[in-house]
């Protein structure tokens, strides 16, 4: 595609709109056809249908050279390909679409003003489990972007993903949940989300900067290739990472809150 088709570096607005339309259409159609099916069951149906639809489209896009994979991706995948597409597509697709759908559905609760009854006491074990699942699945998906090293050998649970990574982010999100619940529980969902995002971001960026400066996390050459050379004052990390952190936290918070809401309210 020509330069006009790209929003940012190699991110095409055409493909972005295409994937967005496909995901949203699938969700809306399933919700229309199966309104009485529980939300958690519909979520699995979304993922199944989208995986069935997206995998052939990804194969098509790769084989006509609309899309390609970085050397880092090719390095970490199993080496098993389906028409030039890594077999891991059957993992990446439901994880990615699951996070996007969770974000969309969470905000649909907010926008549609769905009546949700909060629990008087937070179910910490359940919520920590939800957070771990979301963070771990995301870390596996973005594994090619960075190498996690120097952590104790016993802490690695999958390739270079250390327990310390999801553990630290769970602590950050947990601290945020306590603060928001204690001081801002009477605020509307929108404001609670924005406050939570601000707190997690303010905690996570210095932690990420510490990881980078001390060599615990090393970003791939492909990721560094797109750095503008602008660094965040004081912390001295690429500005792109500072921008990426709130996007990551927004996805995680929405994923966790979405599942908390549907489980708490038996949706």
Residue 224: the pLDDT is 80
SS3 7: strand
The DSSP symbol for 115 reads -
- Average predicted confidence (pLDDT) for the chain: 87
239 by DSSP, 3-state: which? helix
> What is the phi/psi pair of residue 215, to 5°?
75, 15
The model's confidence at residue 4, banded by pLDDT at 50, 70 and 90, is: low
CB-based contact 145:220 (threshold 8 Å)? yes
Pair 76, 144: CB distance under 8 Å? yes
What percent of the chain stands above pLDDT 70?
93
Confidence of residue 195 (pLDDT cuts 50, 70, 90): very high
Confidence of residue 261 (pLDDT cuts 50, 70, 90): confident
pLDDT in tens, 223-251: 787 788 888 888 888 888 888 899 999 99
For position 14, what pLDDT does the model report? 73
Does this model's pTM top 0.85? yes
CB 231 within 8 A of CB 237: yes
Rg (CA), the chain: 19
């Amino acid at each position: 595609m020509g330069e006009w088709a790209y929003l940012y570096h190699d991110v095409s607005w055409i493909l972005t709109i295409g994937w967005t339309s496909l995901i949203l259409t699938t969700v809306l159609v399933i919700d229309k056809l199966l309104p009485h099916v529980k939300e958690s069951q519909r979520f699995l149906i979304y993922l199944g249908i989208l995986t069935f639809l997206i995998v052939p489209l990804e194969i098509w896009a790769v084989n006509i050279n609309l899309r390609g994979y970085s050397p880092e991706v090719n390095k970490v995948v199993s080496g098993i390909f389906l028409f030039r597409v890594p077999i891991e597509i059957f993992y990446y697709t439901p994880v990615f679409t699951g996070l996007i759908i969770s974000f969309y559905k969470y905000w649909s609760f907010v926008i549609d003003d769905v009546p949700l009854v909060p629990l008087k006491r937070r179910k910490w074990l359940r919520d920590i489990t939800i957070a771990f699942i979301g963070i771990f699945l995301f870390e596996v998906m973005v594994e090619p972007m960075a190498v996690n090293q120097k952590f104790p050998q016993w802490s690695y649970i999958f390739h270079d993903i250390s327990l310390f990574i999801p553990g630290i982010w769970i602590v950050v999100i947990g601290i945020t949940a306590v603060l928001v619940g204690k001081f801002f529980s009477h605020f509307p969902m929108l404001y609670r989300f924005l406050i939570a995002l601000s707190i997690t971001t303010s905690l996570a960026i210095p932690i990420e900067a510490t990881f980078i400066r001390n060599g615990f996390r090393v970003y791939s050459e492909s990721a560094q290739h797109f750095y503008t050379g602008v660094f965040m004052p004081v912390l001295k990390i690429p500005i792109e990472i500072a921008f990426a952190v709130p996007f990551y936290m927004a996805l995680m918070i929405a994923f966790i809150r979405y599942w908390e809401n549907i489980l708490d309210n038996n949706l």
